[in-house]
Amino acid sequence: MKKMIAITAAAVAITGCSGMSNTEQRTLSGASIGAVAGGVGAAIFHGNPIWGVVGGAAVGAASGYAYDAFKKNEGSNYNAGYNAGKNNQPNNAPN
């Protein structure tokens, strides 16, 4: 368990999040959260956290990437609706 915590802390300290895109940040955050959750769960139920860390990191990274795609789609839909509403204003409407 101590090795897992040390490895996770070292990975976070080395990689950091400055200069990363939103996609990279969300994917890395998902992988980190998944690795910790998988490691803790595997350590509690099986005694060996390594496969839990690996599996949790993979699932977390995929989830973080999917969440990023959802947020980008949500923002795109919002902007499209905003622009459509803005373009359909009557001529005498305030801006």
pLDDT digits (tens, 9 = 90+) for 18-49: 678 888 888 988 999 999 999 988 888 877 78
> What Rg do the C-alpha atoms of the chain give, in angstroms?
20
Whole-angstrom distance, CA of residue 52 vs CA of residue 68: 24
- 18 φ/ψ angles, rounded to the nearest 5 degrees: -75, 140
Token digits for 26? 């969300």
Q: How confident is the model at residue 3 (pLDDT cuts 50, 70, 90)?
A: confident
Which pTM value belongs to this model? 0.64
Model confidence at 69: pLDDT above 90: yes
Picking from 57, 41, 48, 45, the residue whose alpha carbon sits closest to that of residue 8 is 57
